[in-house]
Amino acid sequence: MDKLRTRTRTRTSFTSSKWIATVASLWIQCSCGVDTFSIYSSVLKSSQGYDQSTLDTVAVFKDTGGNAGVLAGLLYSAVTHNNNNWGGFGGPWVVHLAGAIQNFFGFFMMWAAVVGLIKRPPVVVMGLFIFLSTHASAFFTTANVVTGVQNFPQSGGTIVGLMKGFLGISGAIMVQVYGIFCEGKPSTFILMLALLPTFVTIVLMFFVRIYEANTVDDVKQLNGFPIVALIIAGYLMITLVLENIFSLSLGAHIIMFIFMLLLLASPLGVAIKAQMEDSKRLSQMFSSESNHSKENPAKDTLAYHDLPDGEGQVNDALDEKNLPYEESMNLLQALRTINFLLLFLAMVCGMGSGLAVINNFGQIGRSLNYTAVEVDNLVSLWSIWNFVGRIGVGYLSDYLLHTRGWTRPLMMSISLAAMTTGHIVFASSLPGMLYIGSILVGICYGSLWSLMPTITSEIFGVRHMGTIFNAIGLACPVGSYIFSVRVIGYIYDMQATGEDHSCFGTHCFMLSFLIMTFLALLGCLAAIALFFRTRRFYQLVVIRRLNHSLR
């Protein structure tokens, strides 16, 4: 009996630890400081003597690093699925450590070049530094997203939305830190980006592990995290409004920052509560099964042996073998499918145009006579709307898939249609439209980062998910290069005048946004095609598989 109790306690600890793993992953994600290029792009441009096209070229290195996570996916597969080959010493922490090393080296060398510790590097070398600094986030995200999907397979949209959402809001968090510790010193901000994410990752990486045991109540308990996330986003929104209306003292900034840290700590409370409920439920379940086996030993043994090979499960397996879906494909197999190409095209148009907007927020704002404070606020607002899109649409896609049968490619089509509208709003250049456009494009851009990895896991399988969704993620820097360098940068430099290569007026970006409007519409059409191609697959396989797992 004591042996059985020991097994019960071990199993309980094993199951509940995935909640702590989720909290550690969220904290790593929110420390990354992505989408803050606009904060330090001006000092990078002035210290290195770049024109706008050169700065946009450097930004492409940044975008490529942040989205070229194929190596991260391959490393994750090697250290998790082949853990025995590592003597049991592998795990997601290896991917985190690789990311932390790249983060520190990339940002530190960029800081050294900006402040003059090293000679001014060639553009390609500076591009390598910024590539490494953002390539780290691809390693962090791969480890956290794929681990989360494996820990919560019934709620892929929610868990991906959480991980991508906290990554998106990390920019707004870092802007708050910038305002307190290095206001007006963007070079110091670069050094902070070298130190803080590296420290947080090294401290937390061993808590992120794969726990394959899952329970039916995970969905209900997991919903506590999106609620906390939306509260954090709401608080950051209020903070930005207060800073924009009132001239707050340093003491007020510090108090608000401390309260923000307390909110960021609140997911730990959700995890502890979920862990306690798991422990209680599993203890009751084991006690009930033990009593049942004592009363009906022969019947229980028969049921135990019959359950895995039941007729219904055999029929389900036979039915799924006859269905046209691409479960458990590797990257090379996925590359040869039309579904991969459609998804990649949709992401080039959607993610590429969205990222081009955030990369040029500083120049767009200045061309329309926005102040530096207003531009910084727009960057923070973008991070918040990006966050809302990732969290909200991730959760909404799970809800609509379970309750209405709405597939995720359909949700992606809707998001791209709304993004098309956002680019039209930007092109209008009317007063205040920069705020409205940032809401539309920010939410839609975030939703794509939530939907794309989940669609990948459902169509191509979870085994090679890290490699495949990172390969599709390359569409983001490809699109960013097309829109930022060949469209926005080229047209801006044609309009720019003076020694500082500046442009002021509505004409600076209007044509660029009209071009991006057309291509975002093209991405919407690609997503619609993917919806029709996968509609039967979702109806016959994905929804049935989810319902079966929940039963």
pLDDT digit string, tens, across residues 182-193: 777 889 999 999
**Do the Cβ atoms of 224 and 140 come closer than 8 Å?**
no
At residue 544 the predicted structure's pLDDT band, cuts being 50, 70 and 90, is low
Distance from C-alpha of 64 to C-alpha of 97, rounded to nearest angstrom: 20
Confidence of residue 213 (pLDDT cuts 50, 70, 90): low
pLDDT at 319: 46
Tens-place pLDDT, residues 381-394:
787 788 789 889 99
Provide the pLDDT for residue 217: 57
- The tens digit of pLDDT for each residue in 73-108 reads 999 988 887 654 444 567 899 999 999 999 999 999
- What confidence tens digit (pLDDT) does each residue in 22-38 have? 999 999 999 998 878 87
CA Rg value for the chain = 24
Q: Chain-wide mean pLDDT for the chain?
A: 82
pLDDT higher than 90, residue 203: yes
The helix or strand, by DSSP H or E, that contains position 495, with its residue range, turns out to be helix 490-495
Comparison of pLDDT for 116 and 154, the residue scoring more: 116
Q: pLDDT grade, residue 542 (50/70/90)?
A: low
428-451 residue pLDDT tens: 888 778 889 989 999 999 899 899
| Residue matched to tokens 């996925």 | 334
Asked if residue 202 has pLDDT above 60, the reply is: yes
Look at residue 505 in the predicted model and tell me its pLDDT. 86
In the Cβ-directed half-sphere of 216, how many Cα atoms lie within 13 Å?
A: 7
CA 64 to chain centre: 15
Predicted local distance difference test score (pLDDT) of residue 146:
92
**Cα angle for residues 74, 346, 468 (degrees, 5° grid):** 10
Please check whether residue 120 is in contact with residue 97, taking contact to mean a CB–CB distance below 8 angstroms: no
Residue type, 112: A
**pLDDT level of residue 321 (50, 70, 90 thresholds):** very low
Q: How far is CA 106 from CA 25, 96, 198, 476, in A?
A: 22, 15, 11, 20
pLDDT tens readout for residues 447-464? 998 999 999 988 888 888
Count the neighbouring beta carbons within 10 Å of the beta carbon of residue 38: 24
Q: Indicate whether 252 pLDDT > 60.
A: yes
- The average pLDDT across 483-498 equals 84
Nearest alpha-carbon partner for 352 in 254, 485, 458, 224:
485
**292 pLDDT tier (thresholds 50, 70, 90):** low
Q: Are 495 and 58 in contact (CB under 8 A)?
A: no
